[in-house]
Chains A and B, each alone.
Chain A
Amino acid sequence: MTKYMTIVLILLVFALSSLAAEPKSAVQKVPDIDTITNKANMMAYYQGMDGKAKVTMTITNKQGQKREREFIILRKDVNDGGDQKYFVYFERPADVRRMVYMVHKHTGLQKDDDRWLYLPALDLVKRIATGDKRTSFIGSDFLYEDVSGRSLAEDTHELIETTEQYFVIKNVPIKADTVEFGYYNVSIDRKNFVPMKMEYFDKQGKPYRIIESKKVEIIQGFPTVVTSEVTDLKTGGKTEMAFSDVKYDINLGDDIFTERYLRKPPREAMR
């Protein structure tokens, strides 16, 4: 009987505390730093359990010459906020058509990502040595890490400014010698936690690289960046990445991210 009473009491306390929490958010109290960074990370890379998008990249160099990349990307979360699998099916340019790039991303600091490339003309499945994640993604101004996400555990985070619209977080790498930047600031939308601007500063503290979310749409209830642009202030190059046909929770099977589909992409990846 006393045991029963205790449980009721605990439940009551919980109910009251949650009621008490309600007015707090109503007055827009600033959440703690971990909450902000976690929510922003989820918003940028973990919407839904899986997803699909068609991506068009336009790479423009200093001289104004343009190159285009077009691919379909499939993503499945192994666990929310943690490991993920990516399947990238190239459509353009013509010389890389039907190539597939696959990643099993591991967020644990001790474990490198597993990466594969499939070359259809040779029917060759090629395992790719894990590289520096801060190198260009397919020749664009985006880096591998911009596309698949940087583990939160690799930086320290500090809320340096709260404006009407944004939380501005300063991120400093824990292992400074493994990256080319000194630190970067992220402006996160206070309403929906979408990262709207990332500004990279070199080791001397000079800004040299900016990624901006140019257009955000609500898709299936998820705020989604559908156009983003990176500008490299040092080289004068920029790349725009536009997402179309975005779909979430499409129930991708685990086997899509295996050799079977690497050699013969699923229909989901092709249209």
Chain B
Amino acid sequence: MIRFQNILAGLILVAAPFLLRASAEENNQDAVGSFLRELPVEVHGFYEIRSGYRLQKDKYEKDMSVMESRLQIDLASYLDWADLKVKGDVIGDMVEEQADFDLREANIFTRPADFMDLKVGRQILTWGTGDLLFINDLFPKDWNSFFIGRDTEYLKAPSDAAKVSLFGDIVNLDIVYTPQFDLDRFINGERISYWNSNLGRLAGRDAIMGTDKPNRWFRDNEIAVRLYKNIDNYELAFYGYRGYWKSPGGQNIARNQAIFPDLNVYGTSVLGAVGKGIGNFEFGYYESDDDQSGKDPLINNSELRFLAGYTQEVGRDFTAGFQYYVEYMLDYGRHKDSMPVGLDRDRDRHVTTVRLTKLLMNQNLRCSLFTYYSPSDKDVYMRPNINYKATDNLALETGANVFFGDYPGTFFAQFQNNTNIYVALRYSF
């Protein structure tokens, strides 16, 4: 009962400015509108309130999984020689009890030559063929946002980088240079409890993971390249990456810190029409450069990663997608020898995913379910979501993040005390 009162109080609190704003807007719309039209800047964005709770007690985290109001402002200016873009979120976060500003994009885009595009600054970057599974996309992810039920757009954390794209008759090339390592917003215990292997138990705010990350400008840098070609609408790509494990890939025992060892990735992918649907295949060789032999128990071993997927429309406005993903550890024998009994991993990790999406009510109601299931870890992560567009500007959303499994320390099962439901309301302008 108290929990529901909290939700209600939270909702009213975060909704208040929104309601005030809406009524003020009625009067000022024309004046503000004509003022903005004078500027060579397009102003858009949204205001959102989002509220979510854990469905069970988690002794290492708060009951609230998410409780925030968020104003996103998106400014764009199109000049003759370049496009400028700034997009940022102001967040009132009641879980972390602070106001925050998240600059999502601040970049300049230009086409200096017929064969070249250039984008410099803070930007969101994505490539690869997986659906919520990533092999050759080594741009930063925000796993906290993903697991607490923020919009999927927040799974992608921004990069501070320069992207050069070269377009040729035979092949195209993207080069992304990040002068200072951009790590994932990984699970460190602040928002999401996790399995801490040093403590041998679940942990959260009592054991927030300390890190030692490479952060020297122009020395601890990342470079990612993609060479790609479209052959009769079959999209073929080769990838290369030189940088670091994006989430902790090892630890420094002496200082009790998580570390980000050197990582090189070489991969390839193909995507195209198969039968009535779209099929994709992706491969990556993860070379853990600081532990080439695989003997170091404190650094991730090298791995091969594979992904195969297929998506098809199976009914009217109803789509189904299936993926199979494998991580295969190289030098498994040395890993086993180097680890204390009971702490060694399985050699392979297998994950299957199923996505079901159905549109109803003139496509204004979207019901979707994305499920990860690992037959090797014997754990599951489900993401049901319902989104209703009440008007062209107003959307209502509800969903859940459900984790369960047989063992406490596996990839998804470790988050089981974080299982949560959320509701959200978004006004876009």
Give residues in A with beta carbon < 8 Å to B: 59, 61, 67-68, 92-95, 97, 104, 112, 114, 121-125, 127-132, 135-136, 138-140, 237, 255, 258-260, 264, 267, 270
A104 and B233 contact, CB distance less than 8 A: yes
B271 and A130 contact, CB distance less than 8 A: no
Q: What's the nearest-Cβ distance from chain B to residue A241, in Å?
A: 15
A259 and B230 contact, CB distance less than 8 A: yes
A130 and B362 contact, CB distance less than 8 A: no
Residues of A within 8 A of B109 (CB): 264
B124 and A123 contact, CB distance less than 8 A: yes
B392 and A92 contact, CB distance less than 8 A: yes
Given that A122-B126, A136-B362 are known contacts, is A94 also in contact with B233, CB under 8 Å in the complex?
Answer: no
Name which of B186-194, B242-250, B311-319 contacts chain A.
Answer: B311-319
A61 and B362 contact, CB distance less than 8 A: yes
Interface 0/1 of B301-318, CB less than 8 Å to A: 000000000011100110
A127 and B278 contact, CB distance less than 8 A: yes
In angstroms, Cα B235 to Cα A104, docked, is: 14
Residues of B within 8 A of A68 (CB): 392
Does B273 count as interface, using CB distance less than 8 angstroms?
yes
Residues of A within 8 A of B316 (CB): 132, 135
Given that A121-B153, A135-B316, A258-B230 are known contacts, is A127 also in contact with B391, CB under 8 Å in the complex?
Answer: no
Residues of B within 8 A of A255 (CB): 167
Q: Can you sample 25 A-B contacts with CB below 8 Å?
A: A67-B364, A94-B392, A94-B428, A95-B393, A112-B273, A112-B276, A114-B233, A114-B273, A121-B153, A122-B124, A122-B156, A123-B126, A123-B156, A124-B126, A127-B271, A127-B272, A127-B278, A129-B278, A130-B273, A130-B277, A138-B363, A258-B230, A259-B235, A260-B172, A264-B109
A59 and B362 contact, CB distance less than 8 A: yes
Q: What's the nearest-Cβ distance from chain A to residue B123, in Å?
A: 7
A97 and B392 contact, CB distance less than 8 A: no
In angstroms, Cα B394 to Cα A46, docked, is: 38
Closest to B274 in A: A129
A122 and B278 contact, CB distance less than 8 A: no
In angstroms, Cα B155 to Cα A258, docked, is: 26
Closest to A259 in B: B230
Given that A67-B391, A93-B428, A129-B278 are known contacts, is A121 also in contact with B362, CB under 8 Å in the complex?
Answer: no
Closest to B155 in A: A122
Does B266 count as interface, using CB distance less than 8 angstroms?
no
By Cβ-Cβ distance, the 10 closest A-B pairs, closest first, are A94-B428, A139-B363, A93-B392, A121-B153, A131-B313, A123-B126, A95-B428, A129-B277, A114-B233, A123-B124
Does B117 count as interface, using CB distance less than 8 angstroms?
yes
A123 and B123 contact, CB distance less than 8 A: yes
Partner of B319, one of A95, A125, A129, A258: A129
Given contacts A122-B155, A259-B235, 13 further A-B contacts (CB under 8 A): A67-B364, A94-B46, A95-B46, A95-B393, A95-B426, A97-B44, A112-B273, A114-B233, A122-B126, A123-B126, A123-B156, A138-B363, A264-B109
A132 and B313 contact, CB distance less than 8 A: yes
Residues of A within 8 A of B364 (CB): 67, 139
Residues of A within 8 A of B426 (CB): 95
Interface 0/1 of B224-251, CB less than 8 Å to A: 0000101001010000000000000000
Does B152 count as interface, using CB distance less than 8 angstroms?
yes
Interface size for B (C-beta < 8 A) is: 44
In angstroms, Cα B391 to Cα A59, docked, is: 12
Residues of A within 8 A of B156 (CB): 121-123
In angstroms, Cα B389 to Cα A92, docked, is: 14
Give residues in B with beta carbon < 8 Å to A: 44, 46, 78, 109, 117, 123-127, 152-153, 155-156, 165, 167, 172, 228, 230, 233, 235, 271-273, 276-278, 311-313, 316-317, 319, 362-364, 389, 391-393, 395, 426, 428-429
A93 and B393 contact, CB distance less than 8 A: yes
Residues of B within 8 A of A267 (CB): 78
Q: What's the nearest-Cβ distance from chain B to residue A129, in Å?
A: 5
A129 and B317 contact, CB distance less than 8 A: no
In angstroms, Cα B230 to Cα A133, docked, is: 24
Given that A112-B273, A127-B271 are known contacts, is A264 also in contact with B117, CB under 8 Å in the complex?
Answer: yes
Q: What's the nearest-Cβ distance from chain B to residue A132, in Å?
A: 6
Residues of A within 8 A of B153 (CB): 121-122
In angstroms, Cα B192 to Cα A119, docked, is: 28
Residues of B within 8 A of A270 (CB): 78
Closest to B428 in A: A94
Residue from B155, B230, B392 having most chain A Cβ neighbours under 10 A: B392
Residues of A within 8 A of B228 (CB): 259
In angstroms, Cα B105 to Cα A244, docked, is: 32
B313 and A129 contact, CB distance less than 8 A: yes
B273 and A123 contact, CB distance less than 8 A: no
Closest to A235 in B: B362
Residues of B within 8 A of A121 (CB): 124, 153, 156
Residues of A within 8 A of B272 (CB): 127
Residues of B within 8 A of A127 (CB): 235, 271-272, 278
In angstroms, Cα B364 to Cα A237, docked, is: 14
In angstroms, Cα B126 to Cα A59, docked, is: 34
B167 and A129 contact, CB distance less than 8 A: no
In angstroms, Cα B46 to Cα A140, docked, is: 24
Residues of A within 8 A of B277 (CB): 129-130
In angstroms, Cα B233 to Cα A114, docked, is: 7
Closest to A120 in B: B124
Given that A121-B124, A123-B124, A130-B273 are known contacts, is A94 also in contact with B230, CB under 8 Å in the complex?
Answer: no
Partner of B167, one of A59, A139, A140, A260: A260
Given that A122-B152, A128-B278 are known contacts, is A94 also in contact with B44, CB under 8 Å in the complex?
Answer: yes
Partner of B393, one of A94, A123, A130, A264: A94
In angstroms, Cα B232 to Cα A112, docked, is: 13
In angstroms, Cα B362 to Cα A237, docked, is: 10
In angstroms, Cα B109 to Cα A21, docked, is: 58
Residue from B126, B165, B276, B393 having most chain A Cβ neighbours under 10 A: B126
Given that A97-B44, A104-B233, A121-B153 are known contacts, is A129 also in contact with B395, CB under 8 Å in the complex?
Answer: no
In angstroms, Cα B276 to Cα A59, docked, is: 30
